[in-house]
Structure 1
Amino acid sequence: MAQAAVPRQSARERILDTAFRLFYAYGPRGVGVDTVTAESGVAKATLYKHFPRKDDLILAYLDTVDQVWFGQLRAAALAAGEDPREQLVGMFDALRSACRREGYRGCAFINTAAESAAGRDVHARTVEHKTAVRAWLTDLARRAAATDPDRIACQLTLLLDGGLSAGVLDADPATADAAKAAARALVDAACPARG
């Protein structure tokens, strides 16, 4: 019986997968294009054909991180049920999963923003991600009948970002549980229970 052939990744996919792994581990500015080309097995000309500037590669990396992380947040929220109050708390299960992952280095957006100049494309992309997460939380808070949806969204975003950072600093699995408990208290205070 013949085995099914495993589809071969395109050069672009190999470059992006390699950049994802290296950028997350060492930061985008800590990894040169020579390292990306060597580890992805593509020529430098091929890299520049797909990503004319290193910033283009960093932006593609951030787009990938955005899809993965935002997807995990949404999935955790939906797993908590249909009640928006529960979704606001349930999304913190994504934090628990992230912090326990092998090689966890915190939030790729915070890490990248820390090494990017304000006003540049890369920094703007990090801000765009954080703004999108906050807008999603504001929408959930509105649906949960929060007295001040913008405020609770800001508070939960700060709690989430703090949990992402603490997951690196103290490597204590209980950190995510503490963040979820704090989220529960914030949501209970901000969103009146439905009778």
Structure 2
Amino acid sequence: MARSESGARPSEARQRLLATATRIFYAEGIHSVGVDRIIAEAKVTRATFYRHFPGKEDLVLAYLRAADHAIRNQVDLALAADLPATDALRAVAESIARDIRSAGFRGCAFLNAVAEYPDPDHPVHQAVLAHRQWFLDTINTVLARIQETEAEAAARQFVMLRDGAMAAGCLFDPALISETFLRGVEGLIRAHSARRPS
């Protein structure tokens, strides 16, 4: 069971609230969902909600932290196998392709959230930027193991391929989109590897 930032096990009510919010926020959007609905579907009292989350924004940030944690674990798992850098990058790409093909896929939770919070100073917007910077830095690190001088540009290209696939994957055939994404990543790996000094 996951532990809270303080190290204590989160209460069952908090977990229910977060699981309910995660399901509804991801499926329907954040602004369209009120606290009353989350309280009702999580089967907790209003007092219980406010004991765990002082306001809706705190719940939204917890939702994004949980999504960030899940993606970091997924990427860490792909990178932990001590594979060559090209295979590690393929493993990350495969995990993204699996997500696109999963039931109920509705795009990137972070891109969806930032569309609802366009103010760059808003804490939700900042949480999205922090997650995206971590992902870019992680891909950059893997690509630098192949060829360092062009790694940052290649990492940005990988992230753009991912963003496009995540957006298209909830609009069109997810199998076709994930295949197209994986082919794009293969092309990126080949091009980046070809720049490696001999």
Q: 1:38 maps to what in 2?
A: 40
Q: 2:150 maps to what in 1?
A: 148
Deviation per residue, 1:113-152 (Å, 9 max, x gap)? 0001321000110111111000001111111224311101
CA-CA distance at 1:77 after TM superposition: 4.6
1:58 aligns with 2:44: no
Query: Following the alignment from structure 2 to structure 1, what is the Cα–Cα distance between the partners of residues 40 and 51?
Result: 16
Paired-residue identity, %: 33
Query: Following the alignment from structure 2 to structure 1, what is the Cα–Cα distance between the partners of residues 172 and 24?
Result: 23
Q: 2:166 maps to what in 1?
A: 164
Contact in 2 for aligned 1:16/1:61 (Cα 8 Å): yes
Query: Following the alignment from structure 1 to structure 2, what is the Cα–Cα distance between the partners of residues 154 and 82?
Result: 22
1:117 aligns with 2:118: yes
Q: 2:108 maps to what in 1?
A: 107
- Taking a change above 3 Å as real, the CA distance of residues 173 and 76 of structure 1, as seen in their structure-2 partners, is farther
Query: Following the alignment from structure 1 to structure 2, what is the Cα–Cα distance between the partners of residues 55 and 187?
Result: 39
How many residues end up aligned between the 2 structures?
187
Contact in 1 for aligned 2:85/2:143 (Cα 8 Å): yes
CA-CA distance at 1:194 after TM superposition: 8.8
Give me the CA root mean square deviation.
1.9
Runs of at least 5 residues in structure 1 that lack an aligned partner in the other structure:
1-8
Contact in 2 for aligned 1:146/1:152 (Cα 8 Å): no
Contact in 2 for aligned 1:113/1:123 (Cα 8 Å): yes
Aligned amino acid, residue 133 of structure 2 = T
- Taking a change above 3 Å as real, the CA distance of residues 20 and 97 of structure 1, as seen in their structure-2 partners, is same
SS, match of residue 170 in structure 2? helix
Runs of at least 5 residues in structure 2 that lack an aligned partner in the other structure:
1-10
Contact in 1 for aligned 2:86/2:189 (Cα 8 Å): yes
Alignment of structure 1 residues 4-43 onto 2, 5 Å: 10-43=12-45
Q: 2:3 maps to what in 1?
A: none
Query: Following the alignment from structure 1 to structure 2, what is the Cα–Cα distance between the partners of residues 147 and 176?
Result: 29
Residue among 123, 128, 131 paired with 2:133: 131
- Taking a change above 3 Å as real, the CA distance of residues 176 and 194 of structure 1, as seen in their structure-2 partners, is farther
SS, match of residue 174 in structure 2? coil
CA-CA distance at 1:96 after TM superposition: 1.9
Aligned amino acid, residue 151 of structure 1 = A
CA-CA distance at 1:171 after TM superposition: 2.7
Moved over 6 A (4+): none
- Taking a change above 3 Å as real, the CA distance of residues 142 and 127 of structure 1, as seen in their structure-2 partners, is same
